[in-house]
Amino acid sequence: MKKAVVVFSGGQDSTTCLVQALKQYDEVHAITFDYGQRHKLEIEVAQALAQKLGVAAHKVMDVSLLNELAISSLTRDDIPVSHELQENGLPNSFVPGRNILFLTLAGIYAYQIGANAVITGVCETDFSGYPDCRNDFIKAMNSALVQGMDRDLEIVTPLMWLDKAETWALADKYQALDLVRQETLTCYNGVIGDGCGDCPSCELRANGLNQYLDNKDNVMQALNAKSE
């Protein structure tokens, strides 16, 4: 039996990964992390979607200690999300160590339930400048988990080389375009669906959707070519 664990935030990317995983694996578990993020609504959205999509199990894990260590606009209500980069070249929405922690815990969970895949929606093609979304980081993290637990495990990144338009196409390929558009939460200001329209996450999401809707056939063709 093929089992997978999906790192699931209830956002566009992780929901698209979850929809695909449910078609590709015999048993799919979702794991969501409560790290004291700006909007608790994110967890509620993840819970509702996991139930609606019918995952084998959905685990919500308290990792609020991250909030104590990682200062970011996504962990502090008094820090507004900015379009400007910080002095270190990163957006102030970057949460240092977040994916290191999430993938470590997801790997442990996968070990316990006998899953050989951890799926995450990180992307290097269309990303916000986060270093822990890059392919080199994923490969290093994968190697550390395999060596540290002495067990075969693959971190699967279905969106790594897709742009946002192709990510929308992937959702559409699995008949989940409306679900992802209307019921996921990607907005940094906590607005479900199309979002606030102003934050960097909403801009990236909207631009990708418009590109896909304006040129569906070509975008889907590009997606299928990357999937071969």
Q: Of the candidates 119, 99, 100, 88, which has an alpha carbon nearest to the alpha carbon of residue 6?
A: 119
**pLDDT tens digit string along 53-98?**
999 999 999 988 766 655 555 554 555 554 545 555 555 456 667 8
SS3 178: helix
**pLDDT tens digit string along 158-175?**
999 999 999 999 999 999
In CATH terms, the fold of domain 3-162 is Rossmann fold (3.40.50)
Residue positions in the annotated binding site? 8-18, 187, 196, 199, 202
According to DSSP, the residues that pair with 58 across neighbouring strands are: 30
pLDDT attached to residue 76: 47
Average pLDDT, the chain: 88
CB 118 within 8 A of CB 153: yes
Which residue carries 């990317």 as its tokens?
A: 13
What is the residue extent of each domain of the chain? 3-162
Higher pLDDT, 28 or 128: 28
Please report, as a single letter, which amino acid is at residue 77.
Answer: D
Residue positions in the annotated binding site for ATP? 8-18
Residue positions in the annotated binding site for Zn(2+)? 187, 196, 199, 202
Q: Residue 178 and residue 156: Cα distance in Å, rounded? A: 24
Q: Residue 177 and residue 170: Cα distance in Å, rounded? A: 8
